[in-house]
Structure 1
């Protein structure tokens, strides 16, 4: 049964907010967000078995998960949601639109928590702020996370920049930002025209230059850490993504992290970044 959650705010905690990425790309996406005694998984694009293997790389046990949070219903973000929820015994949080697309995957025992994409809520010690994004899904949203002091933004699977997205992402201490493709590589690459148009469309994915433009709009003295994510293995390279974002940050490309499909991304302590 789907249950409507009630809004709330979390208190600040002393032992900080941090995140890691288990894998990022068209073959599967998942990230960990931790604060205090709370741990959630953002998206569940890998099987339960693969998720366990990837968690082990970070010395994490699935028994420690408090929740799975889903951005939208595309398979690379949710194909493992039902199996992970059943195997790990955790609730799954998503919008009503996303649930309408995925409900056939869950049995009646599944603990589904419906969220309003315009309303903050808390999962344990983690304050979660969802925000809607233009993407070709039923009710997609992305998120910022906070411990009451430091805040970071996680933004993938967005086709164009909106004023609301810019407003929500201002004053983050850290930002994970989609750099899906290089426009020239996509144009000259092997994909069929219809797929190229979908990716480059206003409800598709961000190219490196548009991601850099967004970064320039949300820059503030608080922003100390940026990582590129959801890179296409066919239509982009880590070096191109780093180059685009580093020019905005005014830093060496080496200081821009890239979340990879197989290796993911090591933990970033957002509280330490801000302090």
Structure 2
């Protein structure tokens, strides 16, 4: 009988104010992004019955604060942690990150795959207003989990890379009308709406329609803006657009919300 419990995942928290995702296999425990204080990340991990002292790797997507706020603190507090990012991201980390010990840094260039024992990790570039933004797809025991947020559009290359994964975190940053009518200055609205900004609810649904396949069972709606979106609207938009295309929402796969403060339960991919 195999002792491989599969790949387990929890979206610890996700919004435009902070992001972190936890992934574990029998041999590895890793984080993608650390967009919270060290204390908050410890609390989020404890809420799913896990401890940061057991995490061996942190994969950074880009240098924006909502993704790296706690990266330096975690690296200094947990010396077993290896921090992965591409050179552009490392060079763009703000001074507020503090020192990451050099022996804990590991370059992970865009469009490559790293093998960590029983976990393969693939990086892929996205279109966002950061130095060299990249996201990740994780492979274990024939299963795949992909994260795609912080992109203004989804290229054919990205679609081909992450098509028919078993589970996704997909960006649904804003509702178009809420953004247009909201309090942001026009320059910020233009940035969000640009090809280097963020996916709207409709964009996220269209991206899911491009990548979903027979293996796909879970879609998590991530990186919602607290000013320009609400969970119910993102969820309804995603579900209705997929249903209009005859896709089996609630039957072939399920849609899940994420929260800016509360971790989703661990699930097996």
Q: Calculate the TM-score normalised by the size of structure 1.
A: 0.89
Q: CA deviation at 1:148?
A: 3.6
Question: What is the CA distance between 1:252 and its match in structure 2?
Answer: 5.1
Q: Hey, what does 1:164 align to over in structure 2?
A: 157
Going from structure 1 to structure 2, the CA distance change for 1:108 and 1:215 (only over 3 Å counts) comes to closer
Contact 2:14–2:260 (CA under 8 A) maintained in structure 1: yes
- Do structure 1's residue 129 and structure 2's residue 122 form an aligned pair? yes
**Deviation at 1:13?**
8.3
Cα separation, 2, equivalents of 1:33 and 1:240: 28
User: How many residues matched?
Assistant: 259
Q: Could you list the per-position Cα deviations for residues 169-207 of structure 1 after superposition, in whole angstroms to 9, with x for gaps in the alignment?
A: 112011110000011110011111011111111100000
SS of structure 1 residue aligned to 2:208: helix
Cα deviations by residue, 1:226-249 (Å, 9 ceiling, x for unpaired): 110110111111112112222314
* 5+ residue gaps, structure 1: 1-11, 271-275
1:43 aligned partner: 33
Q: Could you tell me how far apart the structure 1 residues matched to 2:9 and 2:230 are?
A: 23
Structure 2 residue ranges without an equivalent (≥5): none
- 1:258 corresponds in structure 2 to 257
Q: Secondary structure at the match of 1:92?
A: strand
- Per the TM alignment, residue 26 of structure 1 is displaced from its structure 2 partner at its CA by 2.2
Q: 4+ runs of 1 displaced by more than 6 Å?
A: none
Q: Distance in 2 between matches of 1:177 and 1:40?
A: 19
Alignment-derived partner of residue 74 in structure 1: 64
CA, structure 1 residues 107+152, in 2 after alignment: closer, same or farther (shift >3 Å)?
A: closer
Is contact 2:16–2:173 with CA below 8 Å preserved after alignment? no
Are the counterparts in 1 of residues 63 and 94 from structure 2 also a CA contact under 8 Å?
no
1:62 counterpart = 2:52? yes
Distance 2:66 2:92 in 1: 14
> How many Å separate the matches in 1 of 2:227 and 2:68?
22
Q: Is the 8 A contact 2:76 2:100 kept in 1?
A: no
- Any idea what SS the aligned residue of 1:19 has? strand
The match for 2:89 is 98
Contact 1:97 1:139 survives alignment (8 Å): yes
1:127-155 CA distance string (max 9 Å, x none): 10110000000010011111040101111
